[in-house]
A and B are shown apart, each in its own frame.
Chain A
Amino acid sequence: MRDIITEIWSTAKRNKLRTTLTGFAVAWGIFMLIFLLGAGNGLINAQLQSSDRFLSNSMMVFGGQTSKPYNGLQEGRNISLQDRDMNTTRTGFQANIDEVGAEMQQSGVTVSLGQNYFNGTLTGVYPNHCKINKREILYGRFINDIDIKDKRKVVVLSQDNAKELKNDYQNLIGQYVNVGNFAFKVVGIYKKDQSEMNKDAFSSFTTMKTMYNKGDSVGNIEYSFHGLPTQAANDNFEKVYRGRINTNHLAAPNDESAVWLWNRYTQSMQMNQGIGIIRTALWIVGLFTLLSGIVGVSNIMLITVKERTREFGIRKAIGASPASILKLIIIESVIITTIFGYTGMVLGVAANEYMNATIGHMKVDTGLFQATMFLNPTVGLDVCFEATLVIIIAGTIAGLIPARKAAKIPPIEALRAE
């Protein structure tokens, strides 16, 4: 092996420019592959992060407007969800639905403490809201079952709003604040989420419903579910569920706008599919870039073989077997591609790290909320490993054709070559 390396070193040294240019083609190919994958990962990670804001196997149901006449009733009727819809949801689909909750909003509510106040939305929710919408509680707790049962006047404030009321806002826990004309006890503070406006103050659903005289109306229904692994299963479930809710409101069972379903599971499934396609596309573009590098190496090796035909003739005359010539060329090609490919890969990783350090957490600030456009644009160790494998395979392929050519020339013809 050491002899082969010495051989390759001496031939590479003789043609510095050629070796460098060949190497550059390969290094560039791998660099682009790694860089593209890194940038793609940045976009994908940002998408994943934003979709991660919700529990993926959850569904929200909103009231809508009928779009077709049914049972003697005209289209265009407004549908608002009611208690019986919650009952239907709770009892009719026990095979799939876990916890059922609802959210009811009252906007323009003033919350005050002494001289300080803010205007926000009071949202009555069930305990499962915290899980479904992934609220992170900083201090205290979220709404619990006892709050629901006893219609307790409790409130969970956002970090931002709590700050408006008191600078050392963690001490608000246990204090009473005025919500409209009532005194509510602050039981928790949740972490602000840059991607929305954070105006919600959460309270118990039952408290809200009583306080604001909402009657039968429940606002929006939300629940988590399980056991619907495929798109088809989800479609089927939605169809049956929609039919049942529509029937409650005397709307056509197949009317798709009477109630709106927001299925986060199928949404994330579609997104995963999209991400898969993007990933594949990036690999394909990267590999084609790399391919031009490989063709370059192959081309150079062909020229090299032609130039060295006589040398191979001499080697064969003094006892080199075709296999040893084949080995020499292939190893040379693999070593050149590996050295330069590795360099390209290291540069690509460095470029990704630079990108990560500069625009890796780029956010678009709309004033109301921030959206992450680019997150952690790097590639994992596994991709580097795969890329290394690709380099070695590329080197072998690049060397194969020239090497076979060199091994096949009969020694007497090779000796005649100039």
Chain B
Amino acid sequence: MINLKGINKTYNNGQPLHVLKGIDLNIEQGEFVSIMGASGSGKSTLLNILGILDNYDTGEYRLNDVLIKNLSETRAAAYRNRMIGFIFQSFNLISFKTAVENVELPLFYQGVSRKKRHQLAMEYLDRLSLTQWANHYPNEMSGGQKQRVAIARALITNPQIILADEPTGALDSKTSVEVMELLKHLNEDEGMTIVVVTHESGVANETNKIVHIKDGLIGNIEINTDHKASPFGINGVMK
């Protein structure tokens, strides 16, 4: 699904900063993976590259056997639209649009008709039990509800992969558990491939594979099928 081979990335803002120093990583379809690391370790850069939001210097990135390299902004936008669903720490909903309009937006850029995308958006909101919030604006909703709207928006294009950047970062512990349960459920019941970037061990513990990244290199990859084994797993406490 995702094949990374020798990915290097250097930022050239004044002093060159070598952020990713040769990342090799394979993620198969249906995996639930977390990328963990301290701040400055390069995990967000890696996620941006996975999400085609940023370019890399050398190496090869294949997403679903498509080589993602030096794409024009238009091509990149089209790939993001069809293959990737994003979940952000700060939700990134458009404030002057209602929940249902926010969920519809990716379909608008696919050129789906108004009626059809409204219908589909309502369906997804229903799946996330947000039907009654459909016509509310983001500032009228709680953090958990907002993140569920964002998840609905990520799912509506039926993407091959979900990329979540600190999805629980702005949520309290109770809603964090709910959101992680939701992601887990998506992975188990619908076979969705999900990559979560986090610095919280409790969140990482919910995933099946933990990729530790340190100073721009992958440290170790931990298989984590028994969620109860770690102290974080007990009673689902994450924070």
**Smallest CB–CB gap between A405 and chain B, Å?**
14
Q: Which of B42-59 contact A (CB under 8 A)?
A: 48, 51, 53-54
A321 touches B73 (CB 8 A): yes
Q: Please tell me if B26 contacts chain A, counting CB pairs below 8 Å.
A: no
Q: Which of A302-345 contact B (CB under 8 A)?
A: 310-311, 313-324
B53 touches A318 (CB 8 A): no
**Smallest CB–CB gap between A324 and chain B, Å?**
7
Given A3-B114, A317-B80, A317-B86, does the pair A411, B53 have CB atoms closer than 8 Å?
yes
B77 touches A319 (CB 8 A): yes
Q: Please tell me if A88 contacts chain B, counting CB pairs below 8 Å.
A: no
The residue among A317, A410, A411, A415 with the most chain B CB atoms within 10 A of its own CB is: A317
Given A3-B114, A311-B94, does the pair A319, B74 have CB atoms closer than 8 Å?
no
The residue among B77, B106, B153, B157 with the most chain A CB atoms within 10 A of its own CB is: B77
A321 CB contact (under 8 Å) in B74, B86, B92, B153:
B74
A322 CB contact (under 8 Å) in B53, B74, B86:
B74
Q: Please tell me if B208 contacts chain A, counting CB pairs below 8 Å.
A: no
Q: Find chain A residues with CB under 8 A from B108 CB.
A: 3
Q: Find chain A residues with CB under 8 A from B92 CB.
A: 310, 313-314, 317, 415
B109 touches A319 (CB 8 A): yes
Q: In whole angstroms, what is the CA distance A182 to B152 when docked? A: 110
Find the B residue at minimum CB distance from A316.
B77
Interface size on B, residues (CB 8 A): 27
B51 CB contact (under 8 Å) in A14, A313, A317:
A317
Q: Which of B5-60 contact A (CB under 8 A)?
A: 48, 51, 53-54
**Smallest CB–CB gap between A44 and chain B, Å?**
50
The A-B contact count (CB < 8 A) is: 63
Q: Find chain B residues with CB under 8 A from A14 CB.
A: 96
Q: Please tell me if A412 contacts chain B, counting CB pairs below 8 Å.
A: yes
B114 touches A2 (CB 8 A): yes
Q: In whole angstroms, what is the CA distance A321 to B108 when docked? A: 12
B74 touches A412 (CB 8 A): no
Q: Please tell me if A171 contacts chain B, counting CB pairs below 8 Å.
A: no
Q: Please tell me if B228 contacts chain A, counting CB pairs below 8 Å.
A: no
The residue among B53, B74, B95 with the most chain A CB atoms within 10 A of its own CB is: B53
Q: Please tell me if B82 contacts chain A, counting CB pairs below 8 Å.
A: yes
Given A10-B96, A10-B97, A411-B53, does the pair A319, B114 have CB atoms closer than 8 Å?
no
**Smallest CB–CB gap between B5 and chain A, Å?**
22
Find the A residue at minimum CB distance from B51.
A317
Q: Please tell me if B158 contacts chain A, counting CB pairs below 8 Å.
A: no
A323 CB contact (under 8 Å) in B74, B82, B97, B110:
B74
A318 CB contact (under 8 Å) in B54, B80, B95:
B80
**Smallest CB–CB gap between B207 and chain A, Å?**
22
**Smallest CB–CB gap between B108 and chain A, Å?**
6
B106 touches A319 (CB 8 A): yes
Q: Please tell me if B125 contacts chain A, counting CB pairs below 8 Å.
A: no
Q: Find chain A residues with CB under 8 A from B153 CB.
A: 318
Find the A residue at minimum CB distance from B108.
A3
Q: Give a binary string over A1-30; 1 marks a CB under 8 Å from any B CB, 0 the rest.
A: 011000000110010000000000000000
B97 touches A321 (CB 8 A): no
B97 touches A319 (CB 8 A): no
Q: Give a binary string over B193-226; 1 marks a CB under 8 Å from any A CB, 0 the rest.
A: 0000000000000000000000000000000000
Q: In whole angstroms, what is the CA distance A18 to B96 when docked? A: 17
Q: Find chain B residues with CB under 8 A from A322 CB.
A: 73-74, 77
A412 touches B48 (CB 8 A): yes
Q: Please tell me if B105 contacts chain A, counting CB pairs below 8 Å.
A: yes
Q: Find chain B residues with CB under 8 A from A316 CB.
A: 73, 77, 80
Q: Please tell me if B182 contacts chain A, counting CB pairs below 8 Å.
A: no
Q: Find chain A residues with CB under 8 A from B74 CB.
A: 321-323
A321 touches B80 (CB 8 A): no
Q: Find chain B residues with CB under 8 A from A315 CB.
A: 94, 105, 109
B51 touches A319 (CB 8 A): no
Q: Which of B142-158 contact A (CB under 8 A)?
A: 153, 157
B53 touches A319 (CB 8 A): no
Q: Please tell me if B175 contacts chain A, counting CB pairs below 8 Å.
A: no
Q: In whole angstroms, what is the CA distance A318 to B117 when docked? A: 15
A11 touches B96 (CB 8 A): yes
Q: Which of B77-107 contact A (CB under 8 A)?
A: 77-78, 80-82, 86, 88, 92-97, 105-106
Find the B residue at minimum CB distance from A13.
B96
Q: In whole angstroms, what is the CA distance A202 to B233 when docked? A: 120
Q: In whole angstroms, what is the CA distance A322 to B109 when docked? A: 11
Q: In whole angstroms, what is the CA distance A190 to B93 when docked? A: 82
A412 touches B109 (CB 8 A): no
Q: Find chain A residues with CB under 8 A from B109 CB.
A: 315, 318-321, 324
Find the A residue at minimum CB distance from B77.
A321
**Smallest CB–CB gap between B85 and chain A, Å?**
8
**Smallest CB–CB gap between B109 and chain A, Å?**
4
Q: Find chain B residues with CB under 8 A from A410 CB.
A: 53-54, 73
Q: In whole angstroms, what is the CA distance A14 to B53 when docked? A: 29
Q: Find chain B residues with CB under 8 A from A11 CB.
A: 96
B residues at A contact (CB < 8 Å) = 48, 51, 53-54, 73-74, 77-78, 80-82, 86, 88, 92-97, 105-106, 108-110, 114, 153, 157
> Beyond the given A3-B114, A322-B73, could you list 9 further A-B residue pairs with CB under 8 A, ordered by the A residue number?
A3-B108, A14-B96, A310-B92, A315-B109, A318-B109, A319-B81, A319-B110, A410-B54, A412-B48
A residues at B contact (CB < 8 Å) = 2-3, 10-11, 14, 310-311, 313-324, 410-412, 415
> Which 5 pairs from chain A and chain B are nearest by CB?
A319-B81, A319-B109, A321-B77, A321-B74, A412-B53
13 residue pairs A–B, Cβ–Cβ below 8 Å: A14-B96, A310-B92, A314-B92, A314-B93, A315-B105, A318-B105, A319-B106, A322-B73, A322-B77, A323-B74, A410-B54, A412-B54, A415-B53
